[in-house]
């Protein structure tokens, strides 16, 4: 597997200085969460470093890749903010040579989530949401939840995201709703057993 310094050099060429600072925050947070919850620390580090690899590609390039690679065509009907995750997984594989599917999936689903998220995917989603540079209503609550229960932190971050989009009359990507519903149902089953 590529080492941290090589990975950071590749990513630094693709993103702004501000986004690079965010990436370092996500990486440190992902390592902490991976250690806390028993995820593979090296994979968490790599997925976090590369999670925003495609963030600054043009909308035209991302839309073309979504079409060419036969990704979920629904993506094109939703906010382009979602696109850099699946496109990023594709480009990280193609340009950086990362072949580990767990790492690529953690990148692929860090904006939308998905039903049946792996531990690594949850770590990257939550780390991206709570990294120290993030300041917005609700982030502190998710940080506190992440100390105790990764699933509860993930549920709250999804709930915050869905409410944020709804308040702005923006559509919510179906996978995000399905992820939320799936996690809430699983949480209720856990509490009842």
Residue 65: the pLDDT is 98
* Tokens describing residue 31: 């390592």
Q: Tell me the chain's radius of gyration from C-alpha atoms.
A: 16
Residue pair 129/193 in contact (Cβ under 8 Å)? The answer is: no
List of the chain residues with pLDDT < 70: none
HEC readout, 62-80: HHHHHHHCCCCHHHHHCCH
pTM of the model: 0.97
Residue 64 to residue 60: CA distance in whole angstroms? 6
Residue-averaged pLDDT of the chain: 97
Domain with residues 4-136, CATH architecture: Orthogonal Bundle (1.10)
Give domain limits for the chain.
Answer: 4-136
* Tokens describing residue 27: 């990486």
Residue 97: the pLDDT is 97
At 177-191, the pLDDT tens digits run 999 999 999 999 988
Residue 16 to residue 14: CA distance in whole angstroms? 7
* Tokens describing residue 143: 């940080």
Torsion on CA atoms 65, 84, 125, 105, rounded to nearest 10: 20
Residue 193: the pLDDT is 85
């Amino acid at each position: 597997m590529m080492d941290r310094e090589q990975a950071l050099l590749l990513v630094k060429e693709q993103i702004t200085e501000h986004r690079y600072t965010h990436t370092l925050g996500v990486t440190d947070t992902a390592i902490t969460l991976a250690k806390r919850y028993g995820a593979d620390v090296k994979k968490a580090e790599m997925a976090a470093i590369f999670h925003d690899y495609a963030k600054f590609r043009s909308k035209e390039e991302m839309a073309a890749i979504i079409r060419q690679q036969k990704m979920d065509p629904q993506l094109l009907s939703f906010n382009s903010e979602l696109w850099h995750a699946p496109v990023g997984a594709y480009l990280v594989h193609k340009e950086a040579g990362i072949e580990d599917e767990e790492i690529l999936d953690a990148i692929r689903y860090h904006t939308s989530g998905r039903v049946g998220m792996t531990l690594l995917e949850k770590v990257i989603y939550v780390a991206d949401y709570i990294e120290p540079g993030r300041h917005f209503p609700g982030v502190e609550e998710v940080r506190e939840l992440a100390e105790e229960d990764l699933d509860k932190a993930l549920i709250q971050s999804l709930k915050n995201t869905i409410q944020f989009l709804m308040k702005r009359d923006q559509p919510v990507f179906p996978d995000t709703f399905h992820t939320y519903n799936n996690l809430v149902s699983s949480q209720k089953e856990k509490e009842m057993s």
